[in-house]
Structure 1
C-alpha cells in the first residue's frame, strides 16, 4: 500500500481577543481558582487527573465539530490552536511535525513538537504555589490529547517537556502516536453503548460550566441518570441522605433502614473512635449487598479525609459490571469537584455569616437599616425574638469543626439560624415566634443528644438565652445570665 508523508513546517498561531471570547476567559479565570482549590483540598494527583479529563473532553468536543465543518485534516488541525486560544488557556502556540498516511488516506503515525505561549495554568501555579518541580499544564495537555486523538482517530500522547511554572523559558510539548482508534464497531461496542464515553466526558466537561451557572448536585445526578440509566445517591459520612434523584419515598425508607443497621454495625466494629476511624477508611468500588438494596460505593475524599459516599443503587439483585465501575469512578470525580466547590462557597458564606453574627453580639452595628438589610441576605427576620445558644466543648474540635457545624445545620434545617464559631465555642442565633419556652428547651435538648450520639468523644455543654430585638444591644450582658444549662454528663 502506498504511503505519503505531510510535513507541517513550524507555524506560529496567535489570536486577537474578541467580544465573543469574554465568557471563555471568565471560565478560564474560574478554572484557575478551581484548580488552586483542588490542589489545596485534594492534592496534586487528583487535581491533575480532573483537569486533564476536563481539557480532554473539551478537545474531543471541539474536534468533533471541526470534523463536521472541514474535510481536509490539515484544515482541522489549524483550527485547534485558535480554538485553544479562544478558551483563554493560552495566547498563542507554535507547532511543527509530520503526519504519515496510508494509501487510503488513513493516518499511520504522527509526531510533532510545540510550544504554548502564556499558559494560564503555569501562571496560576506560580501565583498560588510558587515554582514547581514538574510541568503543570494538565488542562492544556488534556485539550491537545483529546483534539488530536479525535482528529486522527488515533490515540496520541501529548507530554509537556518544559514548563514556565518549573522555571523553564517556555512550555514545550511533544505529540506522538500510541494506538489506532478504529471508527468501525468492535465486539465491545454493544456494551459501551450503554454509557457512551463521549457522553460521560461531556458530563465532566459541563462540570465547570454547571458550577459557574449554579447547578446543584441534583442537577448533575439527574443528567447522569438520564445518560447512563443508573440511580445515584450521595450520603454524608453518617450515611444520611445528602443528594439523590429518582428514588421513591418507599425506596428511600428501605435504603435508610438498611444503612441505619449497617452504620450501627460499623460503629460497633470501629469502637468509641468510630468517627475519626471512619474518616480514614477510604475505599473504591465497594459492593454492599443489604436486605433491601445493593450498592456499588466510592468514598469522596477531601484533605485525606472521607467526607461523603457516592453510590450506584439498585433495589433489585444485581451484579455490577466493569462499565458500572468506570461510570462510578468518573462520576466520583465530578461529584467530588461539585461538593468541594459547594464547600468553598459555603465556607465563604459561613465566614460572612459569622462576621455578621459577631457584629450583632458585640454591638458593632449601629445602623438599623443595615442590620435589617444584611439579615434579609441571610434569610432571617431579625425583628423576631431569637434564642442565643452557646455550645462549648472541653476538648479541641478543630479537626471535626466542619463536620460538627454541618451536622448542626442539618439538625436545625427547619429553623432560621445564624452561626458563629470561635475556638472551642459555637454561637447559634435561632429566630422563632415560639412563646412556650419549653419548646425551645426541647429543640436544644434534642440537638445536644444528637451531637453526643454522633460525636461521643466530644461532649458538649449548651447555654441558651431568649432575647427580643429590643434588647439586642444587651446580648452580651444577657448571655452572661443564662436561662438554660445542659451540663456534660459526668461519665463522659
Structure 2
C-alpha cells in the first residue's frame, strides 16, 4: 500500500464562489492564532475542565468527519489500510506533525494499539502562548480527532491519551491509543469529557465553577491583603513569605539572581539549585528555559543528585524586566494547583517592591557611608563631627578597624563603551556583595566604590568572632567574589590595625602599598596584609622598585645564573649564612652539612660575586640584595 498522500489531489479551490473543498467536504482556512484566541476565550468563560470537554468532543467530531470524507476519496479497502494511513491524514490537516512508532491491529479480534509522537502541535503552542505551561497535557482537540478517526473505522470506541506534552513542559507530545475497555481504571477520569451534557447541567456546572473561582479569588485577595500590610509595616522578606507558606501549608523560599538563599519558611535542605539551572537535562530543559529566557513561572522537578529531591513552583521577582531573585513554593511530592500559581505570582510582585526598597535603602546608606569613608582617607577629618555623624547611622569609628582595599581589573583589556557601563554596574554589585558578606558575620561595615577600587572598613571584632586571621578573612572575601565575578581580577590589600580615626588615611596608604607590591611580584598573590611585609617591602614603592631590583642584580646576578645552570644551592647557603649572622657552625646545622662544606661554598660565592663577606659593607649589601630578590620572587628559597 502507498502511504503517501498528495494534498493537492484532494483540495479543490472554487474561485467563483470562494469555496474550498477537501474531496466533497467544504473546509475553510483559519489561522492558528485565531483558533488560539477561541481556545483562550473558551477557557476563560468555561474554565479549563469544561473547555477541555468541549474541545475534545469537537476534535472527535472532526476525526469522524475526516474518516467519512476520506473513505469516498481514497482507494483503500481494508481497515488495516485505513488505520495505517490515519497519521498521514491527521498530519495533512496542518494541525500537527505525526510520528507513529507502533500501530498494531488484528482484523479478526479487533484488537488495536498505537503509540507515537506529535511535533509542532498548534494546540500546545497556542496554550503556552496564552496561559504558559499547564500541569497536564493540553492537546485536547488532537486526541479527540485521533480517537474519532480510529473509532469510526473500527466501529468501537478508541481513546487516545497524551502521556507527555509540550504544553506541560515536556520535550514532545507522546500519545497512546487503545480501545476504551483496554484502558481500565486509568481512563475513568477522562470518559466524562466524551459525553454530551444538557444545558441545565452545563449551567449548574458553570455556576459551581463561578462559585469556586469566586472563593479562589477571595482567598488570593486575602493573601494579597495580608502580604501588602506586611509590606506597609516595613517588615522583611521572611514575614512576607511566612504568610504564603502558612496559607498553603508548604515551604517557601526566596533566592537572589544567582539562586543563593535569601529567606525561607518551612522545611529546607541545602542543595545545588544553581548547578541544576545551569546544566538542564531531559524534560527539565523547557521549564528552565521558560524561567530563564521568558521570565515565566515554571514548575521544576529536582532529582536527589542535586542534594534534595523536590518539586518547586518558581516565579521570577522582576524589576525593570530583570530578575532581582526568585520566589518558590516547595513540595516533595504533591503537585501545585491554580490558586497557588496566582498567589505565587502576586506575592512575587510584592517581593519585588520589598527587595527594591531594600536595595534603594542599601544604596542610599552605602552612598552616605562611602562619603564618610572618603572624608576619612583624605586626611585631616573633623574628628568630633565625623564621629558623631557615623554613630548616628550606627557605626563606631573609635573601635579598631582594618582597611580593606580591593583592586579590580577586567580580565579583558579591550572592551567597548557598553561593556564599560556594565563593568561599573558589576563593581557596584561587588561592593554590595562585600557589604552583605561582612554583615552576615554579625556587624555592619563601611564600603565605598570608586574607579577601580572598593574600600571597606572592617571592624576587628567581626574578624575575631569568626576565629580567623585578618588574611584568612580577606581570602574568604576574595574567594566569594571570585566565584561570583569570574570576569574580574581581584587583589586585596589589608592595612595594619587602625585604632584611631586619624589613622585611616595611613591605613589606606598601607593597603595601597600592599597591592603595589603584589602587582610587582612575579608570582600571583590575591591577598597581601601590610603587617606581613618585611622592612624591604615597607621601603619599596612604585617609584624605586626598578632601582632596587637593579641594585640587587648588580650584586648577585652572577650567583643567580650560576645556581640556575648548575642546580647548586649557593643562594640557599647564603640565605642561611645571613640568617645565622655569618656563623658557619649554625649554618651547617641548618643545612645538615659539615662546617667544611659551608666554608667551601662561602668561598665559591665570593669567587663568583667578587664579594668579601668578611667586610661589613659587602656582607650588608649582599644581605639586602638577597632580601630584595626574594621579595620580588626572583629567588625562591625552599
TM-score of the pair, normalised by structure 2: 0.41
Once the 2 structures are TM-superposed, how far is the Cα of residue 303 of structure 1 from its aligned partner?
3.0
Consecutive unaligned residues in structure 1, runs of 5 or more: 1-181, 268-276
Equivalent residue for 2:469?
A: 439
Q: Does 1:325 align with 2:341?
A: yes
Choose from 176, 184, 187 the match for 2:209.
187
- Kindly indicate whether the alpha-carbon contact (under 8 Å) linking 2:256 and 2:325 is maintained by their aligned counterparts in 1: yes
Go from structure 1 to structure 2 and tell me whether the alpha carbon gap of 1:191 and 1:211 turns closer, same or farther (over 3 Å shift). closer
Q: Deviations over 1:125-149 (max 9, x none)?
A: xxxxxxxxxxxxxxxxxxxxxxxxx
Residues 366, 229 of structure 1: alpha-carbon distance in 2 compared, 3 angstrom cutoff? same
1:460 aligns with 2:496: no
Q: Deviations over 1:310-340 (max 9, x none)?
A: 11111x2122222221121211111111111
Shift of 1:442: 0.7
In the alignment, what sits opposite 2:134?
A: none
The separation in 2 between residues aligned to 1:401 and 1:279, in whole angstroms, is 26
Aligned residue for 2:359? 343
Instruction: Measure the CA separation in 2 of the matches of 1:394 and 1:279.
Output: 32
Contact 2:237 2:351 in 1 (8 A): yes
Q: How does 1:158-169 map to 2 (within 5 A)?
A: none
What is the Cα deviation at residue 481 of structure 1? 3.0
Answer yes or no: is 1:237 the counterpart of 2:257.
Answer: yes
Mapped to 1, the partners of 2:222 and 2:347 lie a distance apart of 12
Asked whether the equivalents of residues 231 and 354 of structure 2 are also in contact (C-alpha less than 8 Å), the reply is yes
| Structure 2: tracts of 5 or more residues without a match | 1-203, 282-288, 411-419, 527-638
**1:420: how far off?**
0.4
Q: Pick closer, same or farther for the CA change 1:422–1:300 going to 2, 3 Å.
A: same
The aligned residue for residue 79 of structure 1 is: none
1:245-284, CA deviations, whole angstroms, 9 ceiling, x for partnerless residues? 223xxxx22xx224254256369xxxxxxxxx99974521
Q: CA RMSD in A?
A: 3.7
Structure with greater strand share of residues: 1
Structure 2 partner of 1:418: 446
Identify if the C-alpha distance between structure 1 residues 320 and 186 changes in structure 2 by more than 3 Å, giving closer, same or farther: same
Q: 1:400 aligns with which of 426, 436, 441?
A: 426
Distance in 1, matches of 2:457 and 2:225, equals: 41
1:265 corresponds to which residue? 279
- Number of aligned pairs? 291
Report the counterpart of residue 296 of structure 2 in structure 1.
284
Q: Given the two structures, how large is their TM-score scaled by the length of structure 1? A: 0.52
With over 3 angstroms needed to count, the CA separation of the structure-2 counterparts of 1:189 and 1:364, relative to structure 1, is farther
- What's the secondary structure of 1:287's corresponding residue? strand
Paired with 1:461 and 1:491, the residues of 2 have a C-alpha distance of 7
Residue 294 of structure 1 aligns to a residue whose secondary structure is strand
- Identify the residue that residue 294 of structure 1 maps to in structure 2: 311
Equivalent residue, structure 1, for 2:329: 312
CA distance in 2, matches of 1:429, 1:279: 39
Secondary structure of the equivalent of 1:398?
A: helix
Please give the alpha-carbon distance, in whole angstroms, between the structure 2 residues aligned to 1:322 and 1:214. Answer: 29
Shift of 1:198: 3.2
* CA shift digits 1:178-232 (9 cap, x unpaired): xxxx9x9723645764xx4234334445666544432111111112223343432
Deviation at 1:286, TM superposition (A): 1.2
Kindly indicate whether the alpha-carbon contact (under 8 Å) linking 1:388 and 1:430 is maintained by their aligned counterparts in 2. yes
Shift, 1:410, TM fit: 3.2
3-state SS of paired residue (2:458): strand
Distance across 1 between alignment mates of 2:518 and 2:316:
36
Give deviations 1:358-411, integer Å, cap 9, x for gaps: 12222363132x333333344333222211111122225223234323322332
Is 1:382 the counterpart of 2:397? The answer is yes
Q: Secondary structure at the match of 1:257?
A: coil
Partner in structure 1 of residue 238 of structure 2:
218
Structure with bigger gyration radius:
2
Aligned to 1:214, what secondary structure does the other structure show?
coil
Q: Does the 8 Å CA contact 1:387/1:465 hold for their aligned counterparts?
A: yes
C-alpha displacement at 1:446, in angstroms?
1.8
- Structure 2 distance, partners of 1:201, 1:331, is 11
Instruction: Determine which structure has the larger helix proportion and give its number.
Output: 2
